[in-house]
Amino acid sequence: MTVRHSLEQYALRPLALIGMIFIGALAFFCRLMSVIRYETVIHEFDPYFQYKSTLYLNEKGNTAFQGWLDTDTWYPLSRSMPISLYPGLMYTAEAFLRLCKSIVYTPISVLQASVYMGPVMSVVGSIFSFDIGYIVDESSSTQVMTGLLTALFFSIIPGFIQRSVAGSYDNESSSITAMMIIFDIWLRACTAKQGNIILPFLAALAYFYMAVSWGGYVFLTVLIPLHVFLGILSGIATYQTLLAFKIWQTVGLLSIGLIWREYSGAFSSPIYLPGIGVFFLVILTEYRQILKSKLSPDKYNLLKRQVLICLCVLSALITPVFIKMGLIGKLSGRLLSFINPTYAKRFNPIVASVAEHQPTVWSSFYFNTGFLIVTVPVALYFCILVNRTVPTLFLAAYIATTIWFSAVMARMILISSPAISVCAAYTISKSFETIVNITDKQNKRQSTIQDKSKPKVKEPERKQDPGAKTVKKFISVIVAILITLAFIVAFIKHSLFCAKEVYSSPSIVLISSQRRENGKAAYIDDFREAYAWLEYNTHPTAKVASWWDYGYQINQIGNKTTLADGLTRSTYWIGLIGAALASDEATAWRICRELNIDYMLILYGGMSGYSGDDLNKFIWPIRISGNRHFEKTYPWIAPIDEHNYYANGEYRTDHAASSTMLQSLLLKLSYHNAHQLGMPIDRARNAQFTPSTLQHFEEVFSSQHFIVRIYKVKDSLNF
């Protein structure tokens, strides 16, 4: 046993294990800030739908869950759950519940399992991120360092924390961990011994789990074929890599057909075509190697040119025919937004109306990744020019694609965070290795020069300090370590600040800027107050309309039937609600009666200064309803033109607003009786408004801070 092997076995491995324990604890506990500051509560809007679905699965069982038709949402259309959700998160939570009850003997509720899903999955993801960093860095002297730094950065990077804090019970909270598992097994499969088929099969199973859990699996559908394609072009794709891809592509694509939401497009959606194309390219590559060994160079080159020409001609002829026949579908509006960032704003305003679908600014990159983003160019240099291998080529393809996607859509910072974590860890490790190598080379060069310049006549030699070179090398490494530690400590502080102050505040409970008399924070609980009023003071079958953001919470907490929710299902239906808010009161009342709406719920922040109210996002209901999808069915609705809601090119809600804006239902509902508690001042927009009167709507509830306001549609039956 060598000294190096003994050091690794008895020192490095135990230290790495201890380090991973601390990193896992950090990943878990830093995500519990919301529970400590508030309570065990679900965050945001979409997680309430996931929680409702998990409750149904837990109470009714899998058979009922697979045939669930929810008639309490999207009234009167209803919602078929199996074809409109990704059930992987619900099954994961159910498995977590049973694990705690039967093995750990810690019975927990569905709410607790949902709230703590993010922190638990982040620990699992940190473990696999260590192995990814370990595989990417093939240098035995820095592998462990790269793995530990990758796990540390991944566990606390704000871009990942934002979707994995306690209470953030959404698809991403488990799917990012699933993505890390796929990447780890895929890299292991590519670097395994020749002929290994178990690891590619496991990678395909992990891919299936992610496809069941989140629509973001389409990124992997493109990334892994891209990795293999680049490997073939650069000539570094090994036989094992090609074998792994053939197994992964076949099993993975067939498994997509088992998912209710995705099975219809498994072989027709354009998103799967790159994988299918690379699959055939892999087969051609293997045949090319056989033909190259049997044909002369001239015949081989002639055959290669003929095959390439035939493939190009066939692709050009067949693709339009397949599209015309419907064998190849169209890309979704969300995917087209990645190719053309202006597409959503012009043609799909529903997608563009979501804040996380907006383009990302540089400050957001730095805020969600810290100094790690700066290391990306250096990591690409090492991956492509210095040490180009199958794992480093994968990292280069991963980071290059996600940086583009993140620039187009703010939400994609979540997907790029793991890649940035690996890049930062790899850059630091390779930089240290380079510093040590440079110091060693300088010492050797100086020794060579001294040997050549020695005089032939013997003179009394000065005794050189044998430790001088070692001291110089030691000082260089120590300086580099101190500088790196300063950046890492600053990054940890920034990440913990984000975990505590930025991403641990649920949207359903707000913190007031004003303090209590004892100096403690004052909480604003208007949302749950309003939903409780809806549940206990309205008819059980009452229909509540609101802008689509709040549909999940109204349905789950308020236990009321809604017309639309966060599912981007129907521009037609969401546009009708937008038309009701944007039209004059009489037209809006008629729309409500046509749709059997009993109550209208709006958010108003003018009293409290809450900036996330409906008036501040009013431009999106106007744009979506302005598409006139419902014109044939409801010709009596006047055309809605965005320009009519501006006053001299400005969006205003005060006395200088346009007449169309002043007559809109949303403005009237917002400012109705809003002056009774003080001056008619809108604090959210710093504007003085004119109090409005209503004829067809009646105020029935306003929360303590006037944030949530509920109006009854006159002559409605259920109240």
Residue count (the chain): 719
Residue 289: how many other CB atoms lie within 10 Å: 10
Cα 287 to Cα 280: distance, rounded to the nearest angstrom: 11
Q: Give the domain ranges of the chain.
A: 3-39+116-269+331-429, 524-713
Give phi and psi for 465, each to the nearest 5.
-65, 115
Report the interhelical angle of 217-234 vs 198-213 (nearest 10°): 140
Encoded amino acid at 630, one letter: F
- Cα angle value 344/43/62 (rounded, 5°): 90
Give phi and psi for 154, each to the nearest 5.
-65, -35
Q: Long-range CB contacts (< 8 A, 24+ apart) of 61-70?
A: 65/90
List the one residue out of 644, 153, 696 whose CA is nearest residue 372.
153
Cα 302 to Cα 242: distance, rounded to the nearest angstrom: 25
Encoded amino acid at 639, one letter: P
Chain segment 530-573, per-residue pLDDT in tens: 999 999 999 999 999 999 889 999 999 999 999 998 887 888 88
Q: Provide the phi-psi class of 516: left if phi over 0, else alpha when psi is between -120 and 50, else beta.
A: beta
Residues forming a β-bridge with 543: 561
Tokens, residue 146:
């790269």
Q: What is the pTM of this model?
A: 0.89
What Cα–Cα distance (Å) separates residue 516 from each residue in 304, 521, 524? 78, 6, 12
Tokens, residue 240:
């094992």
CA atoms within 13 A on the CB side of 591: 29
Cα 315 to Cα 311: distance, rounded to the nearest angstrom: 6
Cα 577 to Cα 166: distance, rounded to the nearest angstrom: 33
**Is residue 168 packed enough to be buried (19+ CB in 10 Å), middle (13-18) or exposed (0-12)?**
buried
What Cα–Cα distance (Å) separates residue 11 from each residue in 3, 18, 136, 145, 380? 11, 11, 22, 13, 31
Q: What is the pLDDT of residue 580?
A: 94
Q: What is the pLDDT of residue 719?
A: 46
Chain segment 390-438, per-residue pLDDT in tens: 999 999 999 999 988 888 888 889 999 999 999 999 999 998 888 777 6
Tokens, residue 718:
């259920």
Q: Which residue has the tokens 């300090």?
A: 465
Q: Provide the phi-psi class of 678: left if phi over 0, else alpha when psi is between -120 and 50, else beta.
A: left
Encoded amino acid at 457, one letter: V
Cα 156 to Cα 164: distance, rounded to the nearest angstrom: 10
Low-confidence ranges of the chain (pLDDT < 70): 1-11, 263-266, 319, 321-335, 338, 340, 342-348, 352, 355, 438-470, 472-473, 519, 628, 716-719
Q: Do the beta carbons of residue 539 and residue 597 sit within 8 Å? A: no
- Which string of DSSP letters, residue by residue, matches 85-139? S-THHHHHHHHHHHHHHHTS-----HHHHHHTHHHHHHHHHHHHHHHHHHHH---
**What sign for the dihedral angle of Cα 488, 490, 496, 499?**
negative
Encoded amino acid at 219, one letter: F
Q: Do the beta carbons of residue 550 and residue 601 sit within 8 Å? A: yes
Residue 64: how many other CB atoms lie within 10 Å: 11
What Cα–Cα distance (Å) separates residue 323 from each residue in 215, 267, 315? 23, 13, 12
Cα 413 to Cα 357: distance, rounded to the nearest angstrom: 11
Find the DSSP H helices in 340-412.
343-347, 349-352, 362-369, 376-381, 390-408
Cα 43 to Cα 500: distance, rounded to the nearest angstrom: 14
Cα 189 to Cα 210: distance, rounded to the nearest angstrom: 18
CATH placement of domain 524-713 = 3.40.50.12610
Q: Do the beta carbons of residue 329 and residue 271 sit within 8 Å? A: no
What is the pairing mode between strands 543-545 and 561-562? Answer: parallel
3-class secondary structure, 29: helix
**Is residue 147 packed enough to be buried (19+ CB in 10 Å), middle (13-18) or exposed (0-12)?**
buried
Q: Provide the phi-psi class of 209: left if phi over 0, else alpha when psi is between -120 and 50, else beta.
A: alpha
Q: Do the beta carbons of residue 199 and residue 243 sit within 8 Å? A: no
Find the DSSP H helices in 214-331.
217-234, 239-256, 273-294, 297-325
3-class secondary structure, 468: helix
Q: Do the beta carbons of residue 242 and residue 224 sit within 8 Å? A: no
Residues forming a β-bridge with 698: 712
Contacts of 439 (CB under 8 A, 6+ apart): 472, 473, 476, 477
